[in-house]
Amino acid sequence: MNTRIYLVRHAEAQGNVNRTFQGHSDCPVTERGMRQLDCLAERFRTVRFDALYSSPLLRARQTAEEVNRYHGLELQIDPGLIEINGGELEGMHWNEIPERFPQQQHDWDVAPQNYCAPGGDRMIDVYERITAAIDRIVRANSGKIIAVVSHGCAIRNYLCFANGWGIEQLRNIMWEENTAVSCIDYDEDFRPHIVYQSDAGHLPDELRTLARQSWWKTTITEEATK
């Protein structure tokens, strides 16, 4: 029997609205984020899963609790699911970064595989951490269905891996809406096979976060939008 993961991005938090580098900053979801979570909970109402994991950050734990609204499973925290550590960029508005850290902004936009946050994570750290964490979770739950809640940058790295790509193709992965869900099956050798990717069909247009923003359009390839 194959193993399946539903990989979920957390609901909208304040940094998503204020356009600050959230990273490890531990902030709760917004009012609109809570409404997103109502939609997410309904999406998972009739979806069976056997185990539930989350990043330790509050916005992810709040999201996991709502995935679990109708299921009552134990929430397991895995530090490997945490978001990128922004180091000196934590809490900084994205409009400030190009002037103060031009190389980091350039790499984030056009060469994310080379990105290194001053005093924080390299992008390769995130790629390796999230792939190791999910591999560990899958192997510990072989043959089961698992819900996993993580973060935008971390999930983007994992989807790059799950597509069979090295980190040098990270820019080919689309950014996700808050509460977007990806479904991934794993064969008997624990190799990932994507069933669907970054689906936010449970959200009405007025609750979508990226629909109100345009920054992400400069950080992906044209191919990623197709």
Confidence (pLDDT) at 225: 77
Binding site annotation covers 16?
yes
- Cβ(192)–Cβ(165) under 8 Å? no
Confidence (pLDDT) at 223: 81
- Cβ(6)–Cβ(181) under 8 Å? yes
83 tagged catalytic: yes
- 192/138 Cα distance (integer angstroms): 10
Confidence (pLDDT) at 46: 97
The total number of structural domains that make up the chain: 1
Confidence (pLDDT) at 1: 65
Say if residue 35 is exposed, middle or buried (CB neighbours under 10 Å; 0-12, 13-18, 19+): middle
- Cβ(5)–Cβ(137) under 8 Å? yes
CB atoms within 10 A of CB 122: 16
Binding site annotation covers 15?
yes
- 138/152 Cα distance (integer angstroms): 20
Confidence (pLDDT) at 174: 96
Q: CATH number, domain at 198?
A: 3.40.50.1240
Binding site annotation covers 10?
yes
Domain of 140, in residue numbers: 3-225
The amino acid that residue 190 corresponds to is: F
Indicate the average pLDDT of the chain: 96
Residue with tokens 């580098």: 21
Binding site annotation covers 176?
no
- Cβ(21)–Cβ(76) under 8 Å? no
Confidence (pLDDT) at 224: 87
- Cβ(195)–Cβ(183) under 8 Å? yes
Tens digit of each residue's pLDDT, the chain (226 residues): 689 999 999 999 999 999 999 999 999 999 999 999 999 999 999 999 999 999 999 999 999 999 999 999 999 999 999 999 999 999 999 999 999 999 999 999 999 999 999 999 999 999 999 999 999 999 999 999 999 999 999 999 999 999 999 999 999 999 999 999 999 999 999 999 999 999 999 999 999 999 889 888 999 998 887 7
- Cβ(12)–Cβ(5) under 8 Å? no
- Among residues 66, 83, 176, 177, which one is catalytic? 83
Global confidence as pTM: 0.97
Strand, helix or coil for residue 84: coil
Running DSSP on this structure, what letter comes out for residue 22? Answer: -
- 70/34 Cα distance (integer angstroms): 16
- Cα 12 → chain centroid: 12
Distances (CA, A) of 182 to 50, 85, 156, 163, 193: 17, 23, 11, 12, 11
